[in-house]
Each structure stands twice: as C-alpha cells, then as structure tokens.
Amino acid sequence: DGGITQSPKYLFRKEGQNVTLSCEQNLNHDAMYWYRQDPGQGLRLIYYSQIVNDFQKGDIAEGYSVSREKKESFPLTVTSAQKNPTAFYLCASYTGFGHYGYTFGSGTRLTVV
Amino acid sequence: RKEVEQDPGPFNVPEGATVAFNCTYSNSASQSFFWYRQDCRKEPKLLMSVYSSGNEDGRFTAQLNRASQYISLLIRDSKLSDSATYLCAMSAGSNFGNEKLTFGTGTRLTIIP
C-alpha cells in the first residue's frame, strides 16, 4: 500500500542534542512538507520541498534543517538551536493536483528530557 | 489578523443533532480549500475538499463563500464517531502544483450520547 512513513513514533532528546526525524513516501509525490503541532494549536509549516535537491523555509524554520536527496525521502533535523522542540511533528506529501490535499504520515512526538 | 481563523470550541453536541463550523481566511488569492479531521494524538486526515459550488459527502456538506472569505462544514445527524478536531486548510496562493497549505487551529467537536 502507498503511504507516508514517519519514524520513530516517539523520540526523546537531551538538551544540546541534534535529532533527525525520518519521513519516507512511496506515493511518487513531488512535494513534501514538515509541520509542527503544539498542544491545542494548529499546524505550523517548518520546511517544504517541491522537487528533489530543492527546499524552502516555512514560517518557523529557525533551529531546523532538511535535505531532499531523493524524491521518496525528506528527513528533518531538529538542532540544538531549536529552544523549544517538544511538539508533534507531521510530514506530508502532495500529489500536485489542487483538490486532493495532503497525505500525512502518522507523526513523531518529540520530547526534550 | 490571523491568516486563517477558526472557533476553537469545544462544541458539545447531542447525538443526532446538526452542527456547523466556519473558518475565515484573509488571503483572497487562496484557491484550494479543505477540511481535515484529526483524532486525538493522530495525524490529520482529509475529510473533504471545498469547491465554489459546494459539495456534499453523505452527512457532510462543505461550502465556500469567496465574497465573505469563509468556508463552512455542516454535519447532519451527528454520530458519536464524529467526535474529533476539525481543521480547515487553504492554499497560500493561486499556483496549482505548488500548494503550501495554511491550517486553522482546529475546532474541537464532542458528540454526547
């Protein structure tokens, strides 16, 4: 079955550590996105990529980095510069046709310990 | 003014009732509109796309009012399984194929037996 796989489901980070969240899709979608959701909040865009080897900053890119070396993969690194990283991270991909919306992965819950 | 605004609720509605949510937006260039459903601690899932002519899917009806810049979701004969948070989303611009969605903060709905 086609879909988006995020791993790990839960992740714990110590202060000062970098951690990388994985996002893989086999939907053959060109565009991929990373969002962050805080409790009781909507989704805020961190980074997005519309094509391999290219990506753009979203609204809250500071303290995060991404790469897009393959169409299927869009990993997100949460760096030590991100001062409040505890959140629910959602990866999505998009087919490129307006009325089909995004497909989301099941998310990664990151907690700073 | 926020780009997308939703009443956060909660809406506590008896089973079988009809409930409606609105979502207002400020970007008049938005072309694609969606309603997503998000269950507790899960990823958002596409419920409906919203078209200018309005669209219906079973008990769910979505409408778009471009003049007043809002979309609406109507749920008839509500079921216990409709309890969830409903997120509206819309494209950041008019460039199909380069969709960057902006999400509302969500409206929490609880159906009471």
Which range (A39-43, A47-51, A74-78, B39-43) has the least confidence? A39-43
Q: What are phi and psi of A26, to 5 degrees?
A: -120, 30
Residue B53: CA atoms inside 13 Å, Cβ hemisphere, count?
2
State the Cα–Cα distance between residues B103 and B101, nearest whole angstrom: 6
Give B31-86 pLDDT, tens digit per residue. 789 999 999 999 999 999 887 888 999 999 999 999 999 999 999 999 999 999 99
* A-interface mutation test, from B4, B23, B99, B103, most A Cβ less than 10 A away: B99
State the Cα–Cα distance between residues B28 and A71, nearest whole angstrom: 32
Give A67-104 pLDDT, tens digit per residue. 999 999 999 999 998 989 999 999 999 876 656 678 99
Look at A42 and B106 and tell me if their CB atoms are within 8 Å: yes
Looking at residue B51, its pLDDT comes to: 79
Q: What chain A residue is nearest to B85 in terms of C-alpha separation?
A: A40
| Separation in Å, CA of B24 to nearest CA in chain A | 14
From residue A87, alpha-carbon distances to A19, A103, B102, B110 in Å are 13, 20, 18, 24
Look at B31 and A98 and tell me if their CB atoms are within 8 Å: yes
Comparing CB atoms, the residue among B49, B89, B104 nearest residue A99 is: B49
**Strands ordered across the beta sheet of A64-66:** A4-7, A19-25, A76-78, A64-66
Which residues partner with B20 through β-bridges?
Answer: B74
Q: Is residue B1 scored above 80 in pLDDT? A: no
Comparing CB atoms, the residue among A31, A88, A105 nearest residue B99 is: A31
Look at A107 and B91 and tell me if their CB atoms are within 8 Å: no
Measured between beta carbons, the chain A residues lying within 8 angstroms of B8 are: 40
